[in-house]
Amino acid sequence: MLKDAIGDVLPLGIGVALSPLAIVAIVLMLVSRRARANGPLFVLGWLVGLAVVGVIMLAIAGPANANDDGEPAKWSGWLKIILGAMLVLSASRHWRGRPRDGAETPMPKWMDTIDAFTPVKAFGAGAELSGLNPKNLVLAVAAAAAIAETGISGGEQAVAYAVFAVLGTIGVAVPVVIYYAMGDKAPATLDRIKGWMIHNNAGIMAAILLVIGAKLIGDGIGGV
């Protein structure tokens, strides 16, 4: 059953990992004055943010009887349908709001201050962007529900969610690996990644949300 739970959360973790604005933020930190401290701390904060959300969601989903006598509870199926519909609607909004004529997506104003971030602020930014981001919250709730409905033990639930959280951290961790592995060549590579993410932010988000939303709706229909 543990492998079933892990299989269910894999696409959700990928959805968290593909967070263009967060990846742009970590790239900006890696070209700032405190890159060596702020980059890894941002990643750690991101992982902690997902972990905190997971603890809360599993604490709610576990006692809520998401599994009835070996079968997923019907409320869990309805929850997936609702979450999936939210993601599909968000995908539509991102697609309609994409910049026209090749224009770039405007970045949040706070990104202009990243160069002045302290290590503590970098950690906090990572935790906030992972744990309080609406897309990530929806995916974390879906992951917790998927895990709880398998009926596995609390320890196995923690393992399954840890897989989800670690997978969801890969997107912001890869630029840090590039920074340390490529040395002087890293800035050029990171700049290309940043440019591609900024230019394609709306399209990436729309595609991710649509695919995962459709999957959740399908899984939910199968469960009710």
Which segment of 106-110, 135-139, 164-168, 187-191 scores lowest on mean pLDDT? 106-110
Compute CA distances 59 → 29, 66, 78, 158, 195, whole Å: 34, 12, 19, 11, 40
Residues 86, 141: contact at Cβ < 8 Å?
no
Residues 205, 52: contact at Cβ < 8 Å?
no
CA 224 to chain centre: 27
pLDDT band at 14; cut points 50, 70, 90: very high
Q: What percent of the chain has pLDDT over 70?
A: 92
Which one, of 217, 210, 162, 196, lies nearest residue 9 by Cα?
A: 162
CA 126 to chain centre: 11
pLDDT for the residue numbered 66: 58
**Which single residue is written with the structure tokens 């002045």?**
116
pLDDT digits over 157-199, tens only? Answer: 999 999 999 999 999 999 999 999 998 899 999 999 988 888 8
pLDDT digits over 22-67, tens only? Answer: 999 999 999 988 999 999 999 999 999 999 999 998 888 766 555 5
CA dist., res. 48 & res. 67, Å (int): 27
Which one, of 78, 83, 84, lies nearest residue 223 by Cα?
A: 78
pLDDT band at 208; cut points 50, 70, 90: very high
pLDDT for the residue numbered 11: 93
pLDDT for the residue numbered 101: 67
pLDDT for the residue numbered 151: 79
Q: Is the Cα torsion angle 159, 161, 162, 167 positive or negative in sign?
A: positive
- Structure tokens given for 37: 């401290």
CA dist., res. 97 & res. 20, Å (int): 15
Compute CA distances 29 → 32, 37, 76, whole Å: 5, 9, 39
Q: Which range marks the domain in which residue 47 is found?
A: 2-66+75-223
Which segment of 96-105, 110-119, 142-151 scores lowest on mean pLDDT? 96-105
pLDDT for the residue numbered 120: 96
Neighbours of 115 (CB within 10 A): 14
pLDDT band at 123; cut points 50, 70, 90: very high
**Count of structural domains within the chain:** 1
**Which single residue is written with the structure tokens 């595609």?**
207
What is the residue type of 108?
P
H runs (alpha helix) in the chain = 2-17, 20-30, 35-61, 74-96, 119-131, 134-148, 154-182, 186-223
pTM over 0.85: yes
4 has a pLDDT exceeding 90: no
15 has a pLDDT exceeding 90: yes
User: Phi/psi zone of residue 199: left (φ > 0), alpha (ψ -120 to 50 degrees), beta?
Assistant: alpha
Q: What is the largest CA-CA distance in the chain?
A: 58
